[in-house]
Structure 1
Amino acid sequence: MKICVTGSAGFITGYLVEDLLKAGHAVFGIDNYSKYGEISRSYDNHPNYHFVSGDAKNLDLLKSIVGQVEVLVAAAARIGGISYFHEYAYDLLAENERITAAAFDAALWARRERGLRRIVVISSSMVFEGATVFPTPEGAQLTSPPPHSTYGFQKLATEYFARGAWEQYQLPYTIVRPFNCVGIGEGRALNAPIILSGNVKLAMSHVLPDLVLKVLEGQDPLHILGSGEQVRHYTYGGDVALGIRLALESERTINDDVNISTGKSTTVLELAELIWKKINGSKPFRYVNDPAYPYDVQVRMPDVRKASDLLGFNATTTLDDVLNEVVPWIELQWKQGRM
């Protein structure tokens, strides 16, 4: 299958492109390197990978690519951690709306003129920011209070784009919602705000890399954002990529949505202690609590049964295995001055 992935130089998409190529698909990527700067990937010279350096808001450029494929994966977006949501509240909303509109305009044209089979929307667990039912099932985004953050609100809007394009133009869609994707390849964003957590500059205020960085720099006691009791489902990037691929390959997900996540709950404090022990061994674990950001959702816990039932998908990588891969990678980046 020929697949276009917008934002192909991103974090999740790095795992996704690799998985798609391994599965035998041809991948057409587009990215303007606006987040991390120009980077290289192990698959850059793969014969089935075709990359275009450009802006995903450039409709003519996007149409020239999407016109060649069967599936468009709309993944391009401005994204960061909690501090990023706060610092760029308007820019996130405005820029991501423009990116989303361009993707759907290109998909609608390609559906009409080239027979595009469907658009796959990479949404976010943040659409469930106001959820009160846990584990949170698909459909709760329609019954929960709307997200408070502009990022979560815009991600919910992408899902309405999909529903509207089907209702008016019969553009088939699939919506996938990754939860707390973790892995290697996530560095400090070029335009990330400088935020101090104790004596350490946060990398992205994404909890795992930031905690690793603080422990590597010898922070003691370790600064924890908020109470530490926040519940998350840290899902390995390779598992997320597999779930997205299975969703875009399946006819059972057409005009439907699916959560992609591990079923394992972990608090921020539990994660912090695991990281501490990986790096500091038996050194006593000490921490202090810093004030939380407004958009620090206390419980983000997905219902994962639908992905299992529809796709046979279950995230299998343990958090311990994730840390065994991620901690050495971040340590190398840190020593080389990239974090």
Structure 2
Amino acid sequence: MKILVTGSAGFIGFHLSIALLKKGHEVVGLDNLNNYYDVDLKYARLIETGIDPTEIAWNKEVRSIKYNLYKFIKLNLEDKRELMAFCKKNNFDVVINLAAQAGVRYSILNPDAYIQSNLVGFLNLLEVCRHNKVKHLIYASSSSVYGLNEQIPFSVEHSTNHPVSLYAATKKANELMAHSYSYLYKLPTTGLRFFTVYGPWGRPDMAYFLFADSIMAEKPIQVFNYGKMKRDFTYIDDIIEGIINVLEKPATSCKKWNGKQPHASSSIAPYCVYNIGNNKPVELMIFIKELEKNIGKKARIEMKGMQPGDVIATWADVDDLIKKFNYKPNTTIQSGLKKFTDWYKGYYSIKELSQLRVETV
């Protein structure tokens, strides 16, 4: 298939693009390379996929020197005219939308960025899929949509009507927008609610990455709600396996769906929503101890109260994904964090050496 992966210079998009290429798919990656976090890391991911950073320019397709079925384009989803022209020319079979303005806490400070990227950008993608008869749209939702819901594990049949951050609200809006297009235009859409994804090449704004930075630098780490938090940490390889399994089976109409007793995760339209997580929540303090062990240093911990927009626990009920797609998340925290810290030490030692060479010259 010919597949568009948006957010391809991001953490999940980078890993997914490589996995799809190894399966023989033709992939075009799209990213605007914004500076929400370290742009050098985004460029480093692109270099890993064979994209020459010196060739990158707005609305220019750059072919990989490593994968002959991979191209990259720097583009904003908000630029509807350019996006429509680009997608019409490429005639994609599948679109996987991982591009978004991420971050719960950042949404409190910069709400406008979330409206433009997560709502306007997503609408433009829906229009692209509608007008180009895309066979399947897969898009990233988030565990954040569960908001004030306290029933655990989180089920796709639980209420998601009480978000506690604008980020979460935009992800819930994406699900509603997708359903309307599935119903009106018979566009198969699949939403995936990601649960705290971690691993090599991860996002520097995520807690586990910030913890690693501070522990390595022997600086204090801030632990919110006095450490009484649980997260369904999910290793990147398990996430990628789930996405690829879903890719091969587009959403279909649920024949048993009943408007008088409607299921929230399916529809008479070709629409589905799934949780994608590890289904094994871990206490935050246990996670930190494992990180300390792998880094080889003790954390200096500053206990803090609850942060606005945060939730105490996440736990994914992934039964639907297991039944329909044989999803098997099997990476333990011990194994996953070792892989992350091994990468982390290697990446930053190489980066420091390269910076030292530049300063010396």
CA distance in 2 between partners of 1:163 and 1:312 (Å): 24
CA distance in 1 between partners of 2:7 and 2:237 (Å): 17
Q: 1:105 maps to which residue?
A: 127
Q: 1:263 maps to which residue?
A: 279
CA distance in 2 between partners of 1:29 and 1:238 (Å): 19
CA distance in 2 between partners of 1:334 and 1:28 (Å): 28
How much has 1:48 moved relative to structure 2?
1.1
Query: Equivalent of 1:52, from 73, 88, 93?
Result: 73
Q: 1:156 maps to which residue?
A: 172
Q: After superposition, where does 1:1-339 map in structure 2 within 5 Å?
A: 1-35=1-35, 36-37=38-39, 39=43, 40-44=46-50, 45=64, 46-67=67-88, 68-80=91-103, 82-111=104-133, 116-140=134-158, 143-188=159-204, 204=205, 206-219=206-219, 222-251=221-250, 254-280=270-296, 287-335=301-349, 336=351
Aligned partner of 1:58: which letter?
A: D
8 Å Cα contact 1:132-1:144 kept in structure 2: no
Aligned partner of 1:316: which letter?
A: N
8 Å Cα contact 2:190-2:250 kept in structure 1: no
CA distance in 1 between partners of 2:244 and 2:292 (Å): 34
8 Å Cα contact 2:231-2:313 kept in structure 1: yes
CA distance in 1 between partners of 2:15 and 2:348 (Å): 21
Structure 2, unmatched stretches of 5+, are 51-63, 253-269, 355-361
Provide the secondary structure at the position in 1 that maps to 2:96.
Answer: strand
CA distance in 2 between partners of 1:19 and 1:155 (Å): 25
8 Å Cα contact 2:160-2:172 kept in structure 1: no
8 Å Cα contact 2:218-2:300 kept in structure 1: no
> Residues 13-43 of structure 1, C-alpha deviation per residue, up to 9 Å, x if partnerless?
1111111111221111111211443512423
8 Å Cα contact 1:3-1:28 kept in structure 2: yes
Moved more, 308-317 or 271-280: 271-280
How much has 1:123 moved relative to structure 2?
0.9
> Residues 304-330 of structure 1, C-alpha deviation per residue, up to 9 Å, x if partnerless?
111110100111111111111211333
Provide the secondary structure at the position in 1 that maps to 2:288.
Answer: helix
Could you say if the C-alpha distance between residues 93 and 146 of structure 1 is closer, same or farther in structure 2, counting changes exceeding 3 Å?
Answer: farther
> Residues 181-216 of structure 1, C-alpha deviation per residue, up to 9 Å, x if partnerless?
10122354xxxxxxxxxxxxxxx2x11101111111
RMSD over aligned Cα, in angstroms? 2.1
How much has 1:226 moved relative to structure 2?
2.5
CA distance in 1 between partners of 2:236 and 2:74 (Å): 23
Provide the secondary structure at the position in 1 that maps to 2:132.
Answer: helix
Q: How many residues align?
A: 312
How much has 1:334 moved relative to structure 2?
4.5
8 Å Cα contact 1:162-1:173 kept in structure 2: yes
How much has 1:242 moved relative to structure 2?
1.3
CA distance in 2 between partners of 1:215 and 1:164 (Å): 46
How much has 1:286 moved relative to structure 2?
6.1
Q: 1:198 maps to which residue?
A: none
Structure 1, unmatched stretches of 5+, are 189-203
CA distance in 2 between partners of 1:208 and 1:90 (Å): 27
Could you say if the C-alpha distance between residues 163 and 292 of structure 1 is closer, same or farther in structure 2, counting changes exceeding 3 Å?
Answer: same
8 Å Cα contact 2:107-2:166 kept in structure 1: yes
> Residues 227-258 of structure 1, C-alpha deviation per residue, up to 9 Å, x if partnerless?
21211111111211111111111146652111
Moved more, 254-263 or 149-158: 254-263
**TM-score if structure 2 supplies the norm length?**
0.80
8 Å Cα contact 2:215-2:300 kept in structure 1: no
Provide the secondary structure at the position in 1 that maps to 2:227.
Answer: coil
Identity %: 24
Provide the secondary structure at the position in 1 that maps to 2:28.
Answer: strand
> Residues 258-288 of structure 1, C-alpha deviation per residue, up to 9 Å, x if partnerless?
111112110111111111122236x6x7633
How much has 1:158 moved relative to structure 2?
0.4
> Residues 99-148 of structure 1, C-alpha deviation per residue, up to 9 Å, x if partnerless?
1111111111112xxxx2121121111111222211111122xx244212
Higher-RCO chain (CA-CA 8 Å, sequence separation at least 6): 1
Moved more, 52-61 or 311-320: 52-61
Q: 2:60 maps to which residue?
A: none
Aligned partner of 2:247: which letter?
A: L
Could you say if the C-alpha distance between residues 94 and 55 of structure 1 is closer, same or farther in structure 2, counting changes exceeding 3 Å?
Answer: closer
8 Å Cα contact 2:136-2:250 kept in structure 1: no
CA distance in 2 between partners of 1:231 and 1:171 (Å): 36
